[in-house]
């Protein structure tokens, strides 16, 4: 015996039918807050500001980054990052 039920409704209607809360107001608030934060931090994406931040750490940051990339490349070539079966 097969029983097939097809329901054609919007996501809002489905949430209401299942008794789930309406979170559209919360979602709109979160989206607005994310937009504000992105706008306020947009100056960090400017190349000159980024370089100033990186250079404030001096040569140590460059050396640490080189070591990180070397370790990642070595692990990738040796297959250490592939899952064992």
Show me where the domains of the chain are located: 11-75
Query: What's the average model confidence in pLDDT over 65-74?
Result: 85
**The predicted structure's pLDDT at residue 79:** 61
**The predicted structure's pLDDT at residue 57:** 66
Spatial separation of the C-alpha atoms in residues 15 and 30, rounded to whole Å? 20
pTM of the full structure? 0.40
Sequential DSSP letters for 34-72: HHHHHHHTGGGGSHHHHHHHHHTTTHHHHHHHHHHHHHH
5-62 pLDDT, tens digit each: 998 999 889 989 999 998 889 999 999 999 988 887 776 677 777 677 767 666 677 7
């Amino acid at each position: 015996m097969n029983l097939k039920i097809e329901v054609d409704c919007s996501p809002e209607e489905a949430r209401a039918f299942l008794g789930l809360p309406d979170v559209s107001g919360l979602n709109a608030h979160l989206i607005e807050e994310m937009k504000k934060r992105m706008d306020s931090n947009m100056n960090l994406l400017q190349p000159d500001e980024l370089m100033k931040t990186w250079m404030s750490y001096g040569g140590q940051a460059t050396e640490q980054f080189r070591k990180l990339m070397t370790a990642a490349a070595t692990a990738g070539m040796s297959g250490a990052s592939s899952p064992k079966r």
